[in-house]
Amino acid sequence: MATYSTQEFKSGLKIILDGDPYTIVENEFVKPGKGQAFSRVRVRNLKTGRTVEKTFKSGDSVEAADIFEQTMQYLYTDGEFWHFMHPETFEQHAADAAAVGEAAKWLKEEDDCLIMLWNGAPLTVEPPNFSELKITETDPGVRGDTSGGGTKPATLETGAVVKVPLFVNEGEIVKVDTRSGEYVSRVKD
């Protein structure tokens, strides 16, 4: 079992606490002038996203989490799992709903996603920052109004609903920022 000592703690380090994988967000070295040193760390649970604080005595060890990130191509979903392919080994990995989470509504086939793997299994799925998706349903556009101003909801091919300007029409492709869920621009074919 690989372990890390508190001396190796730094932000980004992946560790196991109480059976869950965590990433270190911040590590603070605290020590009274003449006394035992401690590490006070803020850690984020990679499953739940929750951040908590933990204190360790300096020199204590924690189990290392076998975690690495890999860009993979999204293939398809069978409703229960989302399937991704490693670009070099062509090995396929199936991510469940817990791992895919909010990313599900942005995933388009052939998009490259950043997959975090824990013990070889997908833990989180990060869609590309920008995704180009077709509008499958929205109210009819207001011709000539390209100045912006008003917005209306539009349903995209993945099922996501975003606010788009009034002039954008059904069947058009739009660029969306997947981090904020906001419309960026129309994409001309």
Partner 1 sequence: MTVSGAAEALRWEPSAEPRALKLRAALNAAIRGFFADRGVLEVETPLLQRSANPDPAIEPLAIAGGEGYLRTSPEFAQKRLLCAGSGPIYELGRVFRAGEAGRYHHPEFTMLEWYRPGFGLAELISEVADLINLSLRLAGAEDLPLVQVRYAELLEQHLGAAVPVDLAGLRQACVTLTSIDDVRAAALSEDECLDLLFTVAGEALPVDQLTFVTHFPVKQAALARIDPTDPTVALRFEAFAGGMELANGYDELRSAQELAGRFADDNRRRKAAGLRPLPIDQRLLAAQRSGLPACSGVSVGVDRLLMLIGGYEHLHQVLSLAEPEL
Question: Which spans of this chain sit near partner 1 (rule: CB under 8 A)?
Answer: 7, 27-38, 40, 52-58, 60
CB of 41 vs partner 1, minimal distance in Å: 9
Residue nearer to partner 1 on the CB measure, 53 or 102 = 53
Residue nearer to partner 1 on the CB measure, 33 or 171 = 33
Residue nearer to partner 1 on the CB measure, 52 or 97 = 52
CB of 60 vs partner 1, minimal distance in Å: 7
CB of 148 vs partner 1, minimal distance in Å: 37
Q: Could you give the C-alpha distances from 73 to 82, 87, 111, 179, in angstroms and in order?
A: 11, 7, 6, 19
Residue nearer to partner 1 on the CB measure, 16 or 133 = 16
CB of 172 vs partner 1, minimal distance in Å: 37
